Amino acid sequence: MSEKATLNVGGKSYEFDVITGSENETCIDIQNLRKESGIITMDPGFGNTGSCYSSITYVDGAKGILKYRGYPIEEVAAKASFTETAYLILYGELPNPQELRKFSARLKEHAPLHTNLEHHFSGFPREAPPMAILSAMLNLVSCFHPEVLEVPTTGEEFDRTASLLLSKVRTISAFAYRMAAGKPINHPNPNLSYCGNFLHMMFSDPHQEYEVSPVVDRALNLFLILHADHEQNCSTSTVRVVGSSRANLFSSISAGVCALWGPLHGGANTAVMMMLEDIKNSGRPLRYYLDKAKDKNDPFKLMGFGHRVYKNFDPRALILKEQVHQVQKALNIQDNLLDVALELEEFILKDDYFISRNLYPNVDFYSGILLRAIGIPLKMYTVMFAIGRMPGWIANWKELHDHNQRISRPRQIYTGETTRSFVPLTER
């Protein structure tokens, strides 16, 4: 017999089941609330509202815990490649050697773009934001692969479509960068690893193939692993909402790319670097920025700090911070933005405003410094987040269909004008 929650409103009592998840999280199942009482709940930003039951990722914000399919992020980050992580998130289990070989082969097979697709890149203006190109081109891919429009969520068809998306997101991203930089595109090289092939497509030149260093390859794998999924964040929820109308996977993911673009979400890694550059170049004391961040009349926020769920350190930030030190040492890089970031973090962690609001560095605070260390240009930072998040978006879209979830359609409380008679134009 499950525990019950009782709601007493307007002199009536309503009972609802209390549900407990596998990590002992508790929710009140109110899916019949409106039908039974005519009442709805209100939760702008959905900070207190569960949208689904999911077995993909678990986050404990109070303890700074993140697990992919039950594996702690620290272990996945230390022991897995991004390809293994993507397989785990998509299928729920780590691949055995044969499964990994087959999955990697599919990713290699799907790396090239249809020739006619390549021509579309030349239609974008040079200064086109890469996230706009990525979202547009992901939708466009389905025009050249109509078979993916009706993809089921199981079997070979799903495997093929998921691999196609995971693979082509790299190619589209690298092509977008090369076109914007006025450089010739580099076609994928099937002899390279997932990350090695991306770096080749980004940085090889006609006369000089990019040499993938193990340090950079490892750092990029780690960056993508840490971004692979994160429960029902803004962009993943967007993929689920669009997918709930039974829109195809490509259009659902394209919508997720647009949600990720915002500076409060995936755009934060770029905003952090611009903020650190401003702090470094302004000559202003850090106190100036902290006071701006506290000023309710000032829209300025300290980018890379705070999180809807983490009220402790974001474990990804801790892993990235360590990785930045390792990569800068291995590549003999001196980046004074890291010094600015470390000083800012130390300053903030002693400030009552931030302590009292549990504002800690999030995944975006150090990610940009790592990307800069491995040579990724600033305008590609949020695109890198999208490449990393692709497995999580696809897995959530799949889970939504596996659970045959209803179309998303929240309610509202109307606060506008009540009924009034229409006044003809001649009488106004």
Contacting residues for 281 by C-beta, under 8 A, at least 6 apart: none
Is there binding between residue 175 and ligand SDX (CB under 6 A)? no
Is there binding between residue 292 and ligand SDX (CB under 6 A)? no
Q: Which of 76, 148, 303, 384 binds ligand SDX (CB under 6 A)?
A: 303
Is there binding between residue 357 and ligand SDX (CB under 6 A)? yes
Output 196 or 304, the one with its CB closest to ligand SDX.
Answer: 304
Which residue in 314, 364, 401, 403 is the catalytic one? 364
**Interacting span for ligand SDX (CB under 6 A) from 154-162, 183-191, 247-255, 360-368:** 360-368
Minimum distance between the CB of residue 422 and ligand SDX, rounded to whole angstroms?
40
Q: Which of 104, 193, 248, 362 binds ligand SDX (CB under 6 A)?
A: 362
Output 212 or 241, the one with its CB closest to ligand SDX.
Answer: 241
Is there binding between residue 264 and ligand SDX (CB under 6 A)? yes
Q: Which of 106, 114, 183, 308 binds ligand SDX (CB under 6 A)?
A: 308
Contacting residues for 119 by C-beta, under 8 A, at least 6 apart: none
- The footprint of ligand SDX on residues 127-166 (CB under 6 A) is none
Token code pair at residue 142: 């389905």
**Interacting span for ligand SDX (CB under 6 A) from 166-174, 200-208, 356-364, 397-405:** 356-364
> Torsion angle, CA of 87/93/99/104, rounded to 10 degrees?
10
Q: In what order do the strands lie in the sheet with 26-28?
A: 4-9, 12-20, 26-28
Handedness of CA 275, 301, 326, 231 (dihedral sign): negative
Output 158 or 360, the one with its CB closest to ligand SDX.
Answer: 360
8 A C-beta contact, residue 79 and residue 224: no
Contacting residues for 234 by C-beta, under 8 A, at least 6 apart: 259, 260, 262, 264, 265
How far is residue 33's CA from residue 16's CA, in Å, rounded to a whole number? 8
8 A C-beta contact, residue 382 and residue 270: yes
Q: Which of 145, 160, 301, 325 binds ligand SDX (CB under 6 A)?
A: 301
Beta bridge partners of 5: 16
Minimum distance between the CB of residue 28 and ligand SDX, rounded to whole angstroms?
21
Q: Is 307 a catalytic residue?
A: yes
Output 141 or 226, the one with its CB closest to ligand SDX.
Answer: 226
Beta strands in 183-321 (DSSP E): none
Is there binding between residue 287 and ligand SDX (CB under 6 A)? no
Output 209 or 343, the one with its CB closest to ligand SDX.
Answer: 343
Is there binding between residue 302 and ligand SDX (CB under 6 A)? yes
Closest C-alpha to 153, from 412, 428, 398, 405: 398
Output 148 or 363, the one with its CB closest to ligand SDX.
Answer: 363
How far is residue 381's CA from residue 104's CA, in Å, rounded to a whole number? 25
- The footprint of ligand SDX on residues 363-382 (CB under 6 A) is 363-364
Token code pair at residue 332: 């003999």
**Interacting span for ligand SDX (CB under 6 A) from 78-86, 195-203, 300-308, 331-339:** 300-308
Q: Is 352 a catalytic residue?
A: no
Contacting residues for 163 by C-beta, under 8 A, at least 6 apart: 103, 106, 107, 109, 110
How far is residue 164's CA from residue 146's CA, in Å, rounded to a whole number? 13
* Chain residue whose CB lies nearest ligand SDX: 306
Output 130 or 304, the one with its CB closest to ligand SDX.
Answer: 304
8 A C-beta contact, residue 390 and residue 165: yes
CB atoms within 10 A of CB 338: 20
Contact residues for ligand SDX, defined by CB under 6 A: 45, 230, 233, 264-265, 268, 293, 301-309, 357, 359, 362-364
Task: Return the active site residues.
Answer: 307, 364
